[in-house]
């Protein structure tokens, strides 16, 4: 996500951190999500059947599957609502509810929805699946869409944001499945890479922006079904609209499409996405997907990242919009390709993404951002936050390695994960020198692409080239004075 300036207080839930121990990966084969979804505008709902091919890539036998039902956090009475009911920017039409209801599961001996906030679907398999073996289940479900400017919902511009629109297999750790509720602060998603085949049926006058490469299109009566595929990605997202226009660009063989509403495309954003892809590919490693969709669609934050698709809030003025496009594009490297534990180590993707954005603009001075101005702004904002929080709470927790559940506001989260993250990576670069710093990031990318990297993977990539352990520890544990 990109930073949000709202000072929305979040519930201080006492949830223990689940360390993401690296899975003992036994196979290179990936799970496959095969989703056939139909969107009905008259009921603001999506009905779908998802066939899930599970492959056991762990060293242990697995008797049950657990899926996150992110869409269910939008229901009435959710304990962890993605947006506060008082957030009138998100709930543009007054409070509205949605939800994800599983209506059947085939290929199992039983299933139930539960978890801390009706957010987990548990499916009991007919027999244990041993390492390298496969199993298949088919889940039918309905996703009711709230009228909300959020990752999942019908927006005030009538676009249909389909982030997290299907049951998503919980990431597996040595301790079991990660069953995080939908924290309002940050991006509470942790998922493993899989392959996707997705078909979306919708009225013929609708256009879909998706994470996938289009395979086929079929028109039947008033409806149109389009099929897509995406390989080695940790999520699949789409945005639908009956009034999208498009602008195309290209970067290193990747087809970029900017989706927008209105008469003219927002100036320079398709080009900014193309330049960002080229720059990050050269700086860190190659972009892995054949397409990239940049979608102008209302959000209560300024942007949101999914693999091969980013959502950008159209109300941003052009300077902020370019910044957000580059930030969300950098997430293709730090989140989409190199995954991390976004719940317990948000600095690892957000801090590095902010710093990668700084590096992009430093290399492209025509946009008007400089390294000194970005570092100066982050430092000023961080010091102001520290002063305010010290005055309110007396003692301020400035550690970075902690759960989303421990942040009391977006303001605190933005300053710790984004601003302090940016300041830390600039301090690392200044101490190591450019060559060692960028070599370390290249290696971190190449070694960890398509996995979920621990903090230690990033720390050691730096420390192997220069003695940075003390510097990083000082920042991460909140001991460094800024």
Which residues in this chain contact Zn ion in the complex, by CB under 5 A? 1, 350, 353
Closest Cα partner for 356 from 451, 419, 284? 284
Least CB distance to Zn ion at residue 250 (A)? 24
The tokens describing 143, both together, are 């996703």
Least CB distance to Zn ion at residue 326 (A)? 11
Toward Zn ion, which CB reaches closer, 340 or 353? Answer: 353
Toward Zn ion, which CB reaches closer, 1 or 135? Answer: 1
Toward Zn ion, which CB reaches closer, 167 or 421? Answer: 421
Toward Zn ion, which CB reaches closer, 152 or 353? Answer: 353
Toward Zn ion, which CB reaches closer, 87 or 350? Answer: 350
CA distance between the termini of the chain? 24
Least CB distance to Zn ion at residue 9 (A)? 21
H or E element that contains 453: strand 452-453
Closest Cα partner for 415 from 375, 376, 383, 392? 383
- How many CA atoms lie less than 13 Å away from 419 in the CB half-sphere? 24
Helices (H), 364-419: 371-393, 410-413
Least CB distance to Zn ion at residue 311 (A)? 12
Dihedral Cα 448, 453, 459, 464, nearest 10 deg: -30
Paired residues of 192 in beta bridges: none
Least CB distance to Zn ion at residue 355 (A)? 11
- How many CA atoms lie less than 13 Å away from 279 in the CB half-sphere? 19
Residue 120 to residue 180: CA distance in whole angstroms:
9
Toward Zn ion, which CB reaches closer, 275 or 350? Answer: 350
Helix/strand/coil percent split, the chain, to 5 = 30, 30, 40
Least CB distance to Zn ion at residue 126 (A)? 41
Least CB distance to Zn ion at residue 94 (A)? 29
Toward Zn ion, which CB reaches closer, 57 or 412? Answer: 412
Least CB distance to Zn ion at residue 48 (A)? 28
Closest Cα partner for 210 from 285, 127, 310? 310
Q: Are strands 194-203 and 32-40 parallel, antiparallel or unpaired?
A: parallel
Q: Are strands 172-173 and 176-177 parallel, antiparallel or unpaired?
A: antiparallel
Toward Zn ion, which CB reaches closer, 167 or 351? Answer: 351
* CB-CB neighbours of 224 under 10 Å: 18
Helices (H), 231-317: 269-283
Toward Zn ion, which CB reaches closer, 335 or 437? Answer: 335
Least CB distance to Zn ion at residue 268 (A)? 20
Angle separating helix axes 346-363 and 318-330, nearest 10 degrees: 120
Toward Zn ion, which CB reaches closer, 355 or 444? Answer: 355
The tokens describing 149, both together, are 């400017």
Least CB distance to Zn ion at residue 353 (A)? 5
Toward Zn ion, which CB reaches closer, 226 or 353? Answer: 353
Contacts of 470 (CB under 8 A, 6+ apart): none
Residue 166 to residue 50: CA distance in whole angstroms:
8
Residue 323 to residue 61: CA distance in whole angstroms:
46
Residue 9 to residue 392: CA distance in whole angstroms:
14
Least CB distance to Zn ion at residue 417 (A)? 9
């Amino acid at each position: 996500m990109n930073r949000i300036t709202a000072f929305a207080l979040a519930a201080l839930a006492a949830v223990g951190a689940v360390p993401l121990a690296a899975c003992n990966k036994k196979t290179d084969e990936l799970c496959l999500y095969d989703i056939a979804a139909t969107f009905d505008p008259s009921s603001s709902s999506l009905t779908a059947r998802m066939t899930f091919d599970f492959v056991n890539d762990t060293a242990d036998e697995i008797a049950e599957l657990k899926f996150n039902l992110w869409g269910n956090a939008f229901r009435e009475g959710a304990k962890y609502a993605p947006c506060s009911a008082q957030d009138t920017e998100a709930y543009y039409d007054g409070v509205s509810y949605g939800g994800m209801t599983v209506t059947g599961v085939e290929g199992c001996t039983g299933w139930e929805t539960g978890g801390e906030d009706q957010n987990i679907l548990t499916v009991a398999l007919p027999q244990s699946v041993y390492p390298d073996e496969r199993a298949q289940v088919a889940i039918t479900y309905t996703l009711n869409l709230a009228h909300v400017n959020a990752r999942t919902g019908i927006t005030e511009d009538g676009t249909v944001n389909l982030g997290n629109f299907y049951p998503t297999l919980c990431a597996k750790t040595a301790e079991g499945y990660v069953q995080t509720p939908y924290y309002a602060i940050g991006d509470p998603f942790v998922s493993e890479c899989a392959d996707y085949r997705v078909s979306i049926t919708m009225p013929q006058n609708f256009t879909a922006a998706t994470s996938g490469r289009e395979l086929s299109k079929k028109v039947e009566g008033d409806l149109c079904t389009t099929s897509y595929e995406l390989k080695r990605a940790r999520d699949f997202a789409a945005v639908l609209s009956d009034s999208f226009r498009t602008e195309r660009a290209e970067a290193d063989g990747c087809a970029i499409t900017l989706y927008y509403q209105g008469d003219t495309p927002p100036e320079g954003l398709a080009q900014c996405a193309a330049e960002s892809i080229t720059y990050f590919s050269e700086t860190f490693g190659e972009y892995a997907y054949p397409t990239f969709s940049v979608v102008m669609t209302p959000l209560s934050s300024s942007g949101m990242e999914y693999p091969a698709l980013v959502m950008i809030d159209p109300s941003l003025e052009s300077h902020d919009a370019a910044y957000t496009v580059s930030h969300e594009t950098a997430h293709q490297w730090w989140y989409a390709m190199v995954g991390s534990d976004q719940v317990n180590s948000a600095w690892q993707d957000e801090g590095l993404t902010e710093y990668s954005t700084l590096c992009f603009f430093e290399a492209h001075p025509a946009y008007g951002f400089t390294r000194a101005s970005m570092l100066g702004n982050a430092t000023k904002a961080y010091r102001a936050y520290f002063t305010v929080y010290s005055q309110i709470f007396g003692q301020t927790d400035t550690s970075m390695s902690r759960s989303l559940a421990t942040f009391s506001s977006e303001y605190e989260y933005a300053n710790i994960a984004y601003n302090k993250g940016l300041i830390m990576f600039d301090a690392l670069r200044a101490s190591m020198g450019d060559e060692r710093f960028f070599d370390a990031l290249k290696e971190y990318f190449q070694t960890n692409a398509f996995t979920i990297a621990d903090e230690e993977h990033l720390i050691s990539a730096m420390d192997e080239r220069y003695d940075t352990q003390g510097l990083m520890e000082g920042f991460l544990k909140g001991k460094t004075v800024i």
